[in-house]
Amino acid sequence: MYRWMRRVRAAVVMGVTWALAWAPVGVLVGLVVDPDGSLDEMWFLIFGYPGFLGGVVFSIVLARRGRRCRVDELSVT
């Protein structure tokens, strides 16, 4: 049970990290698309949610591919 919770926590942390990395990109896109702020969208969330999901998927793929390997032993293909 503890190992499972540890993997879920790692996936969530990776997702949050990716969301925090993509949120400023959303803000910059919002400044370009809507410079006067007339739209009511929260641009950081528009890019933050896909960033979170991308980080979780990346974490799952990395865990599945590198089950018994170190990071430097993983193949790109």
Q: By residue range, what is the domain housing residue 9?
A: 2-73
pTM for the structure as a whole: 0.77
* pLDDT confidence bin for 15, thresholds 50/70/90: very high
| Overall domain count for the chain | 1
- Any idea what DSSP says for residue 71? G
How far apart, in Å, are the Cα atoms of 56 and each of 8, 16, 17?
A: 9, 9, 10
For the stretch 37-77, pLDDT in tens is 777 778 788 899 999 999 999 999 888 887 777 777 777 76
Give the pair of three-digit tokens for residue 29.
Answer: 């896109």
